[in-house]
Structure 1
């Protein structure tokens, strides 16, 4: 079971990073929602919290300073895309070592949770859920930038998808009448 869960985490991490492929520096950083959500910020956010969950929680701190809370959802002009991606990949290595080195019932403590006592299983499940949730955000952001869809982030929408969107728009307009 641990191997299956770990593989799922690896898969969704890759899906998130793929959403950056082929985009300009501006497009990976620009805010695409009223709250400022952007692709590179999602990567930085996931890296930061994965480092906390698989580091601090299991007394295996990530070996370098993490962004202060509240600054993890966007990359400053001084942080390159390469730096943010390398940060995420280094977190992966640290997390992977924690997952491989501990049993699923290993105890941990999430001090910022209402019920702080956890196991590796619970944190792994939580991180898969969070990464998948943000992968969905990344899907929508990427599609809004250039129409690319799919797990690898590079496929243009099909003619069927474009026609379906037009039909959905027509139904929405008809419903408001």
Structure 2
């Protein structure tokens, strides 16, 4: 049975944080064309569909290999033999639908691991250093939640660069409700501050 924190089931709470990250990441693809979800918008190629694919690989390995529950027939890109960054974009033969469907399968697989094991269940993260590779399910839930929230933040920025859409979660923008003109002036003001700071430093 899971431990409780102030009357709240700890495993359930950790799982809720994980699910919040999953939902935020997937939401960032909503309403976009296939081109836009694949567009690389940083020098290292960060793109929305690639972030989802990467999240699938993260969950597949942390909730699978770490606890001796390997995902059946893992794709090559999720293994140690993968080509560099091949988990960070969808290839020509990988449709948007197939990536989302695969992530759904991985989520179900990961949730089954969480349901089956106690929070103190031991695991081994073989790709970590020997000094820290022995972990528990509790640690893995925190680790994966942190990583997925980080990638949801990446998706925030990429989506804003695509069409200006912002927001933390569906139905909760977490942004001041200001007109477009206000944001344009705000942006211009920040540019002025940055330029002035540069001149001060040069002086």
Corresponding residue of 1:12: 21
* Length-normalised TM-score, structure 1: 0.93
Alignment of 1:20-169 (within 5 A): 20-68=29-77, 69=82, 70=84, 71-114=86-129, 115-152=132-169, 158-159=178-179, 160-169=182-191
Which structure carries more relative contact order (alpha carbon 8 Å, separation 6+)? Answer: 1
Deviates more, 1:155-164 or 1:87-96: 155-164
Checking the alignment, whether the CA contact within 8 Å between 1:43 and 1:88 is kept in structure 2 is: yes
Unmatched segments (≥5 aa) in structure 1: none
Q: Does 1:3 align with 2:12?
A: yes
Give me the whole-angstrom Cα distance separating, in 2, the residues matched to 1:134 and 1:87. Answer: 18
Unmatched segments (≥5 aa) in structure 2: 1-9
Structure with larger Rg: 2
| Local SS of the residue matching 2:31 | coil
Deviates more, 1:107-116 or 1:58-67: 58-67
Give me the whole-angstrom Cα distance separating, in 1, the residues matched to 2:41 and 2:170. Answer: 17
Cα deviation for residue 165 of structure 1 reads 1.8
* Length-normalised TM-score, structure 2: 0.81
Checking the alignment, whether the CA contact within 8 Å between 1:139 and 1:153 is kept in structure 2 is: no
